[in-house]
């Protein structure tokens, strides 16, 4: 590959001039510029990004760390991040963030200097560790356990979304509403459970302990939990399930038990994975705009005036209610907007 000196020599100028041409400096005469450009084209020269980064200490690259790279959920986040990053001329370094905080910090350390900013979706990350390894890169946390002072973060409005869908169920006339919550230590799961409780309480409905079951967000655990629900007496007439994958499992369990959805039992999920609308019946669920989540993360990372400003605050991404058939009635495509987020 040709270097800047090759071009300089061929064009009969100094490397400084070549550099100026490629950095759109106004300090180059039109004639020189043309000559240099011509030589560069002939030699197929293009500035080496690595060398550039070394001296400018800017890489025009963003790092994105997600718990998983597959699944309908995270692929949407990546897509959003890519859209926003590309719009700003940034490249994207992606990596899986799972398998423990230690491995994550090791990876983070190894890419220090290779990225200008970091989007991190890893609930278990430790605030101090993060500060130690992030170097000079800006950081935005996605869905952290709790906001970390001094760092920007963005989360899904879990509580408001869960509350809205449970109120929807209540509005449909249901009184005995169960929930299949996520893992007890998972933040999203907790907040969604809070939303369920809030909706029940403010509607004067008892949230009996027996109505609250826990799964691990997997389809299988949804199947199991739904089975347990069947033995309740009286049986709940509706179930709010903390994520769509578990809802898929629950749907299977009810189907296997010969129950009709929504006639015998109504079902609502959370996330609105693409699959949700293809289920039989199509699943009513809380729609989370993952693409937007990715975009917002980038925006907050790159569009902030400077470190130390308002950027380092917590932001909530609102949800909407995707009303389909699994709760019965009004499921003909109408869309309820959720109420303003309450947390």
The residues binding a second copy (CB under 8 A) are 1, 44, 46, 48-51, 53-54, 59, 61, 68-72, 74-76, 78-79, 82, 86, 91-96, 109-114, 132, 135-136, 248, 274-275, 278-280, 291
309 contacts which partner out of a second copy, DNA, none, CB within 5 to 8 A by kind?
A: none
Of 54 and 228, the one with the shorter C-beta distance to DNA is 54
Q: Is 93 helix (H, G, I), strand (E, B) or coil?
A: strand
CA distances for 153 relative to 8, 73, 140, 147, 292, angstroms: 46, 19, 5, 6, 14
With CB under 7 A as the contact rule, the residue among 24, 44, 56, 278 that binds DNA is: 56
Of 11 and 78, the one with the shorter C-beta distance to a second copy is 78
Q: What is the 3-state secondary structure (H, E, C) of 263-293?
A: CCCEEEEEECCHHHHHCCCCCEEEECCHHHH
Q: Residue 150 corresponds to which tokens in the numbers above?
A: 């001094």
Annotate each residue in 11-50 with x if it binds DNA (CB under 7 A) or - if it does not, as one string. Answer: -xxxxxxxxx-xx--xxxx-xxx-----------xxxx--
Helix or strand holding residue 127 (H, E): helix 127-133
In the window 128-157, what residues touch DNA (CB under 7 A)?
A: none
Closest to 253 measured CA to CA, from 229, 223, 221: 223
Annotate each residue in 164-203 with x if it binds DNA (CB under 7 A) or - if it does not, as one string. Answer: ----------------------------------------
The DSSP secondary-structure symbol of 75 reads H
With CB under 7 A as the contact rule, the residue among 34, 41, 54, 277 that binds DNA is: 54
Given CA atoms 60, 64, 70, 75 in this order, what sign does their dihedral have?
negative
27 contacts which partner out of a second copy, DNA, none, CB within 5 to 8 A by kind?
A: DNA
Of 33 and 145, the one with the shorter C-beta distance to DNA is 33
The DSSP secondary-structure symbol of 341 reads P
71 contacts which partner out of a second copy, DNA, none, CB within 5 to 8 A by kind?
A: a second copy
Piece of 6-14, 74-82, 211-219, 322-330 that binds DNA (CB under 7 A): 6-14
Q: What sections of 141-289 are H helices per DSSP? A: 158-171, 187-202, 219-230, 244-256
Closest to 290 measured CA to CA, from 118, 68, 125, 63: 68
Q: How far is the CB of 45 from DNA (least distance, A)?
A: 7
Of 68 and 210, the one with the shorter C-beta distance to a second copy is 68
Collect contacts of 22-30 with beta carbons under 8 A, ≥24 apart: 22/47
CA dihedral 116, 122, 123, 129 (to 10 degrees): -60
26 contacts which partner out of DNA, a second copy, none, CB within 5 to 8 A by kind?
A: DNA
Measured distance CA(238)–CA(269) in Å, rounded: 11
Closest to 256 measured CA to CA, from 285, 227, 276: 227
Measured distance CA(198)–CA(73) in Å, rounded: 26
114 contacts which partner out of DNA, a second copy, none, CB within 5 to 8 A by kind?
A: a second copy
Q: How far is the CB of 331 from a second copy (least distance, A)?
A: 17
Q: How far is the CB of 133 from a second copy (least distance, A)?
A: 8
With CB under 7 A as the contact rule, the residue among 10, 43, 55, 252 that binds DNA is: 55
Measured distance CA(333)–CA(134) in Å, rounded: 45
Of 26 and 231, the one with the shorter C-beta distance to DNA is 26
241 contacts which partner out of DNA, a second copy, none, CB within 5 to 8 A by kind?
A: none
Of 200 and 247, the one with the shorter C-beta distance to a second copy is 247
Which spans of this chain sit near DNA (rule: CB under 7 A)? 1, 3-5, 12-20, 22-23, 26-29, 31-33, 45-48, 51-52, 54-57
């Amino acid at each position: 590959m040709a270097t800047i000196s090759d071009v300089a020599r061929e064009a009969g100028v100094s490397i400084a001039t070549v550099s100026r041409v490629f950095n759109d400096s106004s300090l180059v005469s039109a004639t020189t510029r043309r000559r240099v450009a011509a030589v560069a084209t002939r030699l197929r020269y293009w500035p080496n990004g690595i060398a550039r980064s070394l001296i400018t200490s800017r890489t025009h690259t963003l790092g994105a760390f997600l718990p998983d790279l597959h699944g309908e959920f995270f692929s949407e986040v990546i897509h959003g991040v890519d859209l926003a990053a590309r719009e700003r001329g940034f490249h994207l370094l992606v990596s899986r963030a799972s398998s423990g905080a230690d491995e994550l910090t090791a990876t983070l350390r190894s890419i220090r200097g290779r990225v200008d900013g970091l989007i991190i979706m890893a609930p278990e990350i430790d605030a101090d560790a993060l500060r130690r390894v992030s170097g000079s890169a800006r950081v935005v946390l996605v869905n952290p356990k709790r906001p970390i002072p001094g760092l920007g973060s963005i989360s899904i409005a879990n509580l408001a979304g869960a509350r809205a869908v449970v109120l929807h169920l209540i509005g449909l006339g249901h009184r005995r509403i169960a929930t299949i919550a996520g893992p007890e230590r998972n933040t999203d799961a907790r907040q969604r459970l809070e939303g369920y409780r809030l909706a029940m309480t403010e509607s004067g409905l008892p949230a009996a302990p027996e109505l609250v079951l826990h799964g691990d967000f997997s389809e299988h655990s949804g199947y199991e939990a739904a089975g347990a629900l069947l033995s309740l007496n009286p049986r709940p007439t509706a179930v709010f399930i903390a994520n769509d994958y578990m809802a898929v499992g629950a749907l299977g369990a009810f189907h296997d038990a010969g129950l009709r959805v929504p006639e015998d039992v109504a079902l609502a999920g959370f996330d609105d994975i693409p699959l949700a609308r293809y289920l039989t019946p199509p699943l009513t669920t809380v729609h989370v705009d993952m693409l937007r989540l990715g975009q917002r993360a980038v925006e907050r990372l790159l569009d902030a005036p400077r470190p130390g400003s308002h950027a380092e605050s917590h932001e909530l991404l609102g949800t909407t209610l995707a009303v389909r058939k699994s709760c019965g009635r009004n499921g003909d495509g109408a869309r309820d907007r959720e109420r303003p987020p309450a947390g």
